[in-house]
Amino acid sequence: QEIMTKRWFELLTKYNDELKVRTLGELIFGCEDKKYLKTEYGLTRYKTYGEKNRLTIVVLHGLGGNLDLFEGMAIDLAKKGFRVLSYDFYDRGCSETDRIKYPLGWFGRHPLKFTLSFHCLQLQQVLDALTDNDLILVGHSTGGAVALRYATSKKNRVKGLVLMDAVVLPPKKSLAAKIAEIPFLGDLVVKFFGASSFLQFCKQCVKDIARNRLHLEQTKNLLKKNPRFLAAMASTNRYCEGFTVSLLPEFIHFCSTAPKNNIPLTLIWGQNDSATPFSPHCQQLHSIAAKAYQSSSLYSYLPFPDTPHNVYFPDAKPNECTEAIAKLAANVLQSR
């Protein structure tokens, strides 16, 4: 399958000086208005909104997400006077790791380890190429883990942090996900049951399946047509901190220094989240943050009843999430 897909890819791909390329992801998401960067492990698709010299809000998607899911939020934030930058993680959306250098192995196993450092390197290279502005990081799910790690290590650059249903404590994993971590046996499970298991997970993350039919159909097509998509998620599940070990020490460290440096924090969570459950995940983080910020206006806490993991989706709380991010960004501007 990998050999056939690689051949198909080679026939369809056309490179030019502007990096306008046709990737397997583009066969599903379309090829219009796509911008790419050459990053260390392949191509990274990105998109920017708003004026270049404004405070930059960087939005990081979840495990199987992509930048298009934040389109509405990004447009609204740009209208409020901020610059927004989003990009696809490797082998998600339209970004791709180099298919020639990093071919999939037996049973579709990804040769690269998608650790948190791996994700943060991609983020750093995107930022190096596109902006030298101060940053606000907004991370959903896996993107929340990336945002937390980067904010903890780059305190001078990151001026605000928003975590939405973030993977800080190891998430609740299905039986299939747990078996997928076992060498060899896990590869077989991912190959034969990974796609259906992940699609079921995606349905559990939304409030209204009918209103999210396009997103679910795109995910289904990615799972069918791009084997690297599932392989990348399996590698993240196996190796990425947050999935494998708790990031609670890093969150505690962030909260111990952020209030002194006037760095605001917002926690946004769906109380019906089954992936990173509100209890204990958000409740534990809120307890730590509230104690550290001591009723400061720099800290905001937004738990939403009857709301699933994808808290910012159109059928959940998109406007509330956008307003919370804009409020935090306004605090950053006022503190300058």
Band (pLDDT 50/70/90 cuts) for residue 30 is confident
Counting every residue, how long is the chain? 336
Report the C-alpha gap between 75 and 60 in whole angstroms.
15
Report the C-alpha gap between 103 and 198 in whole angstroms.
22
CA dist 142 → 147, 163, 266 (Å): 9, 10, 16
Report the C-alpha gap between 30 and 72 in whole angstroms.
18
218 by Cβ neighbours in 10 Å (0-12 / 13-18 / 19+) ranks as: middle
* pLDDT tens profile 109-133: 999 999 999 999 999 999 999 999 9
Is it the case that residue 3 has pLDDT exceeding 60?
Answer: no
What confidence score (pLDDT) does residue 174 get?
Answer: 67
* pLDDT tens profile 50-69: 999 899 999 999 999 999 99
Tell if the pTM clears 0.95, that is, is over it. no
Band (pLDDT 50/70/90 cuts) for residue 176 is low
70 by Cβ neighbours in 10 Å (0-12 / 13-18 / 19+) ranks as: buried
* pLDDT tens profile 193-243: 889 999 999 999 999 999 999 999 999 999 998 999 999 999 999 999 999
